[in-house]
Amino acid sequence: MQLYNTLSAEERAELIDQAGKQRLTLSFYAYAKIEDPKKFRDDLFIAWNALDALGRIYVAKEGINAQMNVPAENIEAFRETLEVYDFMKDIRLNVAVEHDDHAFLKLTIKVRHKIVADGLNDDTFDVTNKGIHLKAKEFNEILDDPNTIVVDFRNHYESEVGHFKGAITPDVETFRESLPIINEQLQNHKEDKNLVMYCTGGIRCEKASAYFKHQGFKNVFQLEGGIINYAKQIEAEGLESKFIGKNFVFDNRLGERITDDIVSQCHQCGKPCDNHTNCANDGCHLLFIQCDECKTAMENCCSTECLEIIHMPLVDQVRLRTGKQVGNKVFRKGKSESLKFKHSGELTDTVLATASKSTDIRQKIKVKKTLLGKAEHYYVKAQVGLFTIENQELNSGDKILISGPTTGNQEMVLDKMLVNGIEKTQAKTGDKVTFAIPFRIRLSDKLYKIIG
């Protein structure tokens, strides 16, 4: 019985491209009492793995929080797997505004203490006493009320690229940080103002609205389904979008465009830009905004220091980051002294530029490649790698990519090779191939041919 992924992200991406079928990116959540989260998790994995559904899902005794990517042809079957559970019957699926077949490349379901890290003691207040849910039209109307205070309950790197006009945008890295800050900031308006809140898909506001009602706020409202659902509704109903810019999302897309307004800047040169990326130095992986020109000049790095590091031999790169905490950096480290044009906290509604509609939303540089085979051995003294060719052909002069969790992604041009112990210019399926490699490889590494 398979309960975990057996394919790497690279292998999964290859299979998705070969299948050529449309995939839908979506999210959903539900608060419910789950007696055995571990069994619930395993049952979901078995059902969803059979449907080729991928994503990042958290389950806990209090419910489920999911961001996923599902083949369009399997969407009804996917719904059926949800409706097995009473608390997910007729659940709203927040289907993304923009789709990317590579939004998720693994099915990861984790059991957590909570489905959102809110830092709250739920026993101290009634979590079911939530704020009033507002649809897009009602949300627009209440925003026009001068008696309304609207609060963004997302993090600084999310609100920087897009937010509702006039919103309070706390300078925080986590949801739990924003709760006491807003409570303190609005102490004098508990009875005389409408406290209106929003987040990406609604889950953060679901708990926050109950918390603020417990804190004494009389008029608490939340955007139903968050920004994702709002975008769908304004398009369907022809409403004005009071949200400007891009909606940050926690998958490989890193954002989906709601309006054509660009409200943020490249963190390196200051040019209007709202494309997030991660620093190419695996020892940094800083999340920041980078324009195409800086991406080319800096080779996807956040600083000259990181640029120097990525050109070091891999063994030296690994040595530099040995012993350092590198987990959880994809979305959290959004600040650095190297970023001269980073803005957070109080944000203006000033539009800096208009986005091109043809802009590709995928942030990572696309490398078209085909899987050839896998590593079998590395001869350290000779600096020679041995591979088995399992698919297609390998020729002298081909540009290849060797990829693995520790090795990273290493590109090189194959000058010459031995095929089954004899120097040849071509290797076919089933052949054993050896050639010189200036870095160490591992048995988990895959060999790809770069095409195009």
Q: Name the token pair of 335.
A: 């600040």
Those residues with Cβ within 8 angstroms of residue 273's Cβ, 6 or more apart along the chain or in another chain: 262, 264, 265, 266, 289, 290, 291
**Cα separation, 348 vs 361, whole angstroms:** 24
Q: CB atoms < 10 A from the CB of 404, how many? A: 18
Q: Which three-class secondary structure state does DSSP give residue 448?
A: strand
Cross-strand partners of 422:
419
Known catalytic residue at 199: yes
Sign of CA pseudo-dihedral 216, 221, 227, 228: positive
* Helical (H) or strand (E) element with 296: helix 292-298
Q: CB atoms < 10 A from the CB of 25, how many? A: 27
Give me the catalytic one of 199, 205, 301, 306: 199
Residue with tokens 């160490």: 440
Q: What is the DSSP letter of 315?
A: H
Q: Which three-class secondary structure state does DSSP give residue 252?
A: coil
Amino acid at the residue 382: A
Residue with tokens 């590395």: 378
Q: CB atoms < 10 A from the CB of 3, how many? A: 11
Instruction: Tell me, rounded to whole angstroms, the distance of Cα 122 from its chain centroid.
Output: 28
* Helical (H) or strand (E) element with 141: helix 136-143
Question: Which residues are catalytically annotated?
Answer: 199
